[in-house]
Chains A and B, each alone.
Chain A
Amino acid sequence: MLELKGISTGYGQAQVLREVSLDVQAGEIHCLLGRNGAGKTTTMKAIAGVLPLWSGEIVLDGEGIGALPAHKVGRTGVGYIPQGRRLFGELTVAQNLEIGLMTRRSGPAVRERVLDLFPRLRERLTQRAQTLSGGEQQMLATARALCVEPKVLLLDEPTEGLQPSMIDAIREVIVRLRSEGVAILLVEQRVDAVLNVADRVTFLENGHARETWAAEDLRGQHVVIDRYLGV
């Protein structure tokens, strides 16, 4: 579904990603693990198109999207839930969703389906996004990305700073999207949480994609996990 072919990129002069290759299948949760600064968020930004590629190609459904300008990437069906949520804080919940819907000119049916996934948002449609609780903001960020009707969903640390009940709610939605055939690329810090939901795991180190494991083979392999995450 989504394939990265040796992509390199960075900020200004500083190179962050060095020929990273990986793929995410439809109906799969593929998780990126690595220490701070390994290039996890940078990979997400590169796919979303906000960081131009230096080299390499990104293929979605057989179509190259690596060279598209940022505002056209979303229209191909890439939903991005960034780290720190980055809602349009002064706009209302309904307006945030509307911007999501405008991306691919999705109709009201999509909006209804998204609101059915997050009933709490329906109660708060006229509230400004920045006045929501952390968990509700994460719900809104997810809902906004789902308004794109994504083929690929990029989730950057969705459970950061949330209470356990919210984490469960978010995970439930992610698993449900997988069963609907969405390809999901997930960045997550907590290894135990990852091993419970992920299908495959790729370890990033210093901008290189080192190894890819099936999640079930990785259980109990503390040596491998410590090599890439241990301090």
Chain B
Amino acid sequence: MLASLEGAVTAAVLALTAVGLSLVFGIMRVVNVAHGEFFMLGAVLAWWVSSWFGGHVAIGFVAALVIAPMLVGAVAALADVTILKRIDYDPERTIVVTIGLLYVIQQVVLMTYGPEARPVEPPFNTRLALPWFEWGENGLQLYWPWGLSTTSYKLFVIAAAAVVLEAVWLLMRHTKMGLVMRATQLDGEMAQVFGIPVERVYAFTFGLGAGLAALGAVLIVPIQQAHYLMGGDPLLLSFIVVIIGGLGSLPGTVVAALLIGMSDGIISVFFSPTLAKILATLLVALVLVFRPQGLFGTRTA
């Protein structure tokens, strides 16, 4: 129970990050190796913004929740226009370029923010005890053992991620912007013929993808602390999730994030985090062997 709640928090943040990666790959065919650094940048900016705002911690946190993803999105859109566009989104060169971007962002953060891990205070953090069922003398009994608890903040993270994912889904399925993005994904050249400014769609998509990663990071930073090297794990896990879920498939990405996040949480609690990573990677290998298009992919890319 506790393990699955921890897993759900991981899964929620992972789903946000992976959906960002999946959008960028699906629409732009860009493998964004710097995605984890956008995540880290979100966390670091969250610390900056929340310490900038005095007063109640909630004010700082809400400000971070709004400002950090937007700033990160703007940085990403700028990177798209100034770098990715210049190399014509060539598949191999985008990989090299985003690796470069990874180091640039990482080192700039190290030079300015420093090597320390810094926490952001959660806006609310009530301890919620969880009930446990046991057969006793009087039949089924409920009691609240010490140590078995979660916090209201963790539940908030799960709910917030669900709301944001729902919003992304609505954006893609029911708005003009979503229609334009999907048309660009399906046939960029024909999209241009029908007046769609593909370059701007790309910049927006890259910004949106990075912004989602940053949002995930802002949500997790009261639990995990912000550190300049924190981008590695989310990057690896996002790739795992996106491959298992099927490249470019949003529902697949969310389901795979739940699968990986939950199993990561549960296995980490009962065994070790390393074992969890090993199993996740093994799962990727199996998916690639037996279902290369991913669980929800419709065709091979």
Contact = CB atoms under 8 A, between A and B. Distances in A.
Given A50-B192, A74-B193, A80-B193, A98 B182 contact: no
A69 B197 CA distance: 9
B194 A103 contact: yes
A91 B190 CA distance: 13
Given A82-B190, A88-B190, A103 B182 contact: no
Interface in A38-69: 48-50, 69
B189 interface: yes
B202 to A, nearest CB: 12
A75 B189 contact: no
B179 interface: yes
The secondary structure that dominates the B interface is helix
Contacts of A22: none
Given A50-B189, A86-B187, A91 B179 contact: yes
Interface residues of B, number: 17
A99 B191 CA distance: 8
Contact of B195 (A50, A72, A86, A89): A72
Contacts of B193: 48-50, 70, 73-74, 80, 82
A103 B186 contact: no
Interface residues of A, number: 26
A30 interface: no
A128 B178 CA distance: 16
B195 to A, nearest CB: 4
A149 to B, nearest CB: 12
Contacts of A49: 192-193
B183 A91 contact: yes
Contacts, number: 63
Contact of A100 (B186, B189, B194): B194
A102 B192 contact: no
Contact of A89 (B186, B191, B194): B186
Given A88-B187, A89-B186, A90-B186, A74 B194 contact: yes
Contacts of B187: 86, 88
B176 A102 contact: yes
B223 interface: no
B58 interface: no
Contacts of A102: 176, 180, 194-196
Contacts of B197: 69, 71
A148 B194 contact: yes
A99 B183 contact: yes
Given A70-B198, A88-B187, A102-B180, 13 more contacts: A69-B197, A71-B195, A71-B196, A71-B197, A75-B195, A86-B189, A88-B182, A99-B180, A99-B191, A102-B194, A102-B195, A103-B194, A148-B194
